[in-house]
Structure 1
Amino acid sequence: MHHIWHDVVHSFVHADKGVIHLTKELALKPGIVVKEYVAGKRKKYFNPFSYLVLTVAISAFLTHYFHLMENNSQSVNPVTELSSKYFNLILFIGVPISSFYMWLLFRKKGYNYAENLTFQAFIGGFRVVFFILIFTPLVLLFRQYYFYVLSIYMLAWFIFTAWAKVQFFGGPKWLTIFKAFLVILFTQMTMTLILSLVAYFLIKRQP
């Protein structure tokens, strides 16, 4: 147990490649971190997919404990209900979907799908920071303005992901930002379609 506990703590606080170090680096230079990782400089960073699993678990806990996907509306939307119930699964599914759209829109940059998937794992993992610092406190304090809070969160998240893509892909900034917007838009549309179909078939199966 001593060795297990040592490894767990070490994975968080290791000065060169722990979770805290990775989170700090992603906050300062997200696109550069991913670029270095896919270029082979991997020993200095925590594994992106382990990071994604860990941070999605934290996000799912916060969502469930504080009921972050619920607003004051009287009617319950089946899609929203599914989103709240399977929030962690939705975050995971969104990563390969957004990776596909990013690979499709930025394919001329020469990165393959696996490298785009690595990018989304890193950036998707960092999303927990936005949950803790922006979304969670705003929802708890201003739940009556839920959709305004959600809009602020989505805008902040878009700015961060666009900045990360500018660092990672380079090229004309306006074009990269526009494509970053399309990646989020297409991903959101695809996820909404999937959730709507699942909700439809679940309702249809009810007696």
Structure 2
Amino acid sequence: MNTTCKNCHQTYTGHYCNNCGQPAETHKINIHYLWHDIQHGLLHFDKGIAYTAKQLFTRPGHSIREFIEGKRVRHFKPISLVMVLATAYIALIHILDIEMFVKTKEAVDTNPNINIEKLGDWLSSHFAWITLVFIPLHTIGTAICFRKQGYNFIEYLVLNTYKASQKLYISILLIPLFYYYSGTTTILTITKIVMLIDFILYFWTNEQFFNQLSKTKTFFLTLLTHLIFWFIFFTIIVIGVFSFGGI
């Protein structure tokens, strides 16, 4: 049966217009339509965020490799996912007024050039952007350490973007603990635990993604990747502090 597209007026057969992709069946705009649009278009609860979260915590490396190779319909797009999760995380931090840094006189007096409270507030308010900046820094390390595995820089960027999403999922799940221990020394311990979990997930993802390598080689290359990341990160911090005369 021929159908005339309501969008571009192309005549076609099937469920979608072969010229512009418009669905043959359009629904009346009502409450059901709005709810359907929220689920499918904005948050993709039915398949995007939920499906990607399941994949990232059951078979992360395999699913990311499949995404890079073209299996992308059910996945939430990597950059969009990071931004949605980072926005949700920072919104919860602000709404619950969680202090991610210990505010003590000793912390302020440690270095007169660095205001810890101001630094903490700045890091919290720019968390989404910081998360995005960290991704290419990790990607530089990944591209150096795994340069012989046949992927380009952008593909490694996608890999590390999904890894960042893993960390954000964990951070959001730990919001109740952050809230309970807000502004105390215990929150630093929780942060260190998150970093350890992050490294374990990072290695697990690499072990699946680079499944042609031995686990031992993947572990040491993953460790080297982190060392390169921290070297670049602290180099940027030092340059920033000296360039702008402190925070």
| TM interval, short-chain normalised | 0.7 to 0.9
Q: Distance in 1 between matches of 2:221 and 2:195?
A: 16
The alpha carbon displacement at 1:126 in A equals 2.4
Q: Which moved more, 1:52-61 or 1:116-125?
A: 52-61
TM-score, normalised by the number of residues in structure 1: 0.85
1:13 match: secondary structure: coil
Alignment of 1:166-177 (within 5 A): 166-170=207-211, 171-177=213-219
Does 1:183 pair with 2:225?
Answer: yes
Return the letter of the residue paired with 2:235.
Answer: L
TM-score, normalised by the number of residues in structure 2: 0.72
List alignment gaps of at least 5 residues for structure 2. Answer: 1-28, 109-114
Return the letter of the residue paired with 1:182.
Answer: L
Alignment of 1:138-149 (within 5 A): 138-142=177-181, 143-149=184-190
**Percent identity for Structure 1 against Structure 2:** 25
Aligned with residue 20 of structure 1, among 46, 50, 59: 50
Q: Which residue of 2 aligns with 1:54?
A: 84
Q: Which has the larger radius of gyration?
A: 2
**Residues 137-183 of structure 1: CA distance to partner in whole angstroms, max 9, x if unpaired?**
33333333232222111111111111001000121112212221222
CA contact (8 A) 2:206 2:222 kept: yes
Which of the pair has the greater relative contact order for Cα pairs under 8 Å at 6+ separation?
A: 1
Q: Which residue of 2 aligns with 1:154?
A: 195
Change (3 A) 1:88 1:68: farther
Does 1:45 pair with 2:70?
Answer: no
Q: Distance in 2 between matches of 1:186 and 1:89?
A: 20
- CA-based RMSD: 2.4
Q: Distance in 1 between matches of 2:34 and 2:152?
A: 36
**Residues 19-62 of structure 1: CA distance to partner in whole angstroms, max 9, x if unpaired?**
11111111111101101001111112121121111112122223
1:71 match: secondary structure: coil
Q: Distance in 1 between matches of 2:158 and 2:170?
A: 19
List alignment gaps of at least 5 residues for structure 1. Answer: none
Change (3 A) 1:62 1:188: farther
Q: Which moved more, 1:137-146 or 1:47-56?
A: 137-146
Structure richer in helix, relative to its length: 1
Q: Which moved more, 1:83-92 or 1:152-161?
A: 83-92
CA contact (8 A) 1:82 1:199 kept: no
Change (3 A) 1:33 1:117: same
